[in-house]
Amino acid sequence: MPHTVKALFRDDAYLSVAEGKVVAINDRGGIILDQTCFYATSGGQPGDTGFLERADGSRIEIAATVCGETKDEIIHVPAPDQPVPEIGEALTLHIDWDRRYKLMRMHTACHLLTVVCPYPITGASVGEEESRVDFDIPELDGDKASISAGLMQLVEGNHPIYTETISDADLAANPGLVKSKNVRPPTGSGSIRLVCIGKDASVDSQPCGGTHVTETGEVGEIHIGKIEKKGRENRRFRIRFGPAPAQ
């Protein structure tokens, strides 16, 4: 039976430290806790790294966080040669916040790109320094400079970002909310988490389970580093932090 772990990052993406109790160690040494602030790799966003602090102050370094059999089973993968905690042991969880915060800013930037480029998404990968989003675009309207300017207009608008829960039926009634061409959000649990940008979702809303900043201004300066053609209709956009380099 897969374990259901309380995913604290869903309600508070800014929680960098939390308490948890060990409920299981899987056959590969993965640590499962009753609750966690560690995001597990999903939806193009890499899982968190960090450490679990024991009562005596020693550390269990965590190299990766992944989902188990279900999305609710979150597994902390220790780095090689780490001590194994006891079942029932209370630990203090510390995520690598500098890394996570960059991923949150980048992940949010990917949402903004889907507003500036309103085309079906065929793939996405969030990184600390660079993220990529693939779109199905037969004819691209704009170039790196104009799309970067569109992104920065949304960043500078400092729009609020918040989540909302809707029912499977609401989603079925609003198919336009889904921007992925091939991936449908998981339905069947009865509710879907929507990530909304702008007052009353005036800028955007789409199903997403990742972690985001709370205002678009927090994304900071970003630009499109590259647009590549991948196949006949696929275009890959690379988002990078900082100002666009001088041409």
Alpha-carbon distance of 176 to 153, in angstroms, equals 24
CB contact set of 191 (below 8 Å; sequence gap of 6+): 165, 166, 167, 168
Closest distance to Zn ion from the beta carbon of 208 (Å): 3
Alpha-carbon distance of 51 to 156, in angstroms, equals 35
Residue from 31, 208, 219, 222 touching Zn ion (CB under 5 A): that is 208
Q: Is 210 in the site for Zn ion (CB under 5 A)?
A: yes
With beta carbons less than 8 A apart as the criterion, state whether 181 and 153 touch: no
Residue 164 token pair? 């909302």
Residue nearest Zn ion, Cβ-based:
208
Closest distance to Zn ion from the beta carbon of 35 (Å): 21
Strands ordered across the beta sheet of 161-167: 161-167, 191-197, 204-207
With beta carbons less than 8 A apart as the criterion, state whether 63 and 53 touch: no
Closest distance to Zn ion from the beta carbon of 173 (Å): 22
Q: Is 13 in the site for Zn ion (CB under 5 A)?
A: no
Q: Which is nearer to Zn ion, 82 or 122 (CB)?
A: 122
Q: Which is nearer to Zn ion, 103 or 208 (CB)?
A: 208
Residues 37-56 that bind Zn ion (CB under 5 A): none
Q: Is 207 in the site for Zn ion (CB under 5 A)?
A: no
Q: Which stretch binds Zn ion (CB under 5 A): 9-17, 203-211, 227-235, 238-246?
A: 203-211
Q: Which stretch binds Zn ion (CB under 5 A): 22-30, 77-85, 209-217, 225-233?
A: 209-217
Closest distance to Zn ion from the beta carbon of 207 (Å): 9
Strand, helix or coil for residue 205: strand
For the beta carbon of residue 211, count every other beta carbon within 10 angstroms.
23
Burial of residue 81 (CB within 10 Å: 0-12, 13-18, 19+) is exposed
Q: Which is nearer to Zn ion, 8 or 133 (CB)?
A: 133
Size of the site for Zn ion (CB under 5 A): 2
**Which residues make up the interface to Zn ion (CB under 5 A)?**
208, 210
